[in-house]
Structure 1
Amino acid sequence: MNLNRLSSYFILICPEAPSGLFVSSVTHVSVSLTLTSPSSPHDGYELYKLDPTDNHRALVSNLTRENNGMIYETDIVGLVPATLYNVEVGTFLNAEGSFPMQRSEENATVTFMTGNAGVQSPESTMLLISLLAYLATVLLI
Structure 2
Amino acid sequence: ISVIMIDEAHERSISTDILLGLLKKIQRRRPELRLIISSATIEARSMSTFFSNRRKNSLLKPADGLPNPEPAILSVEGRGYTVETHYLEEPVSDYLQAAVNTVLIIHEKEPPGDILVFLTGQDDIDAALKLLNDEIQHL
TM-score, structure 2 normalization: 0.27
Report the structure, 1 or 2, having the larger helix content.
2
With CA pairs under 8 Å and 6+ residues apart, which has the higher RCO, 1 or 2? 1
Report the structure, 1 or 2, having the larger strand content.
1
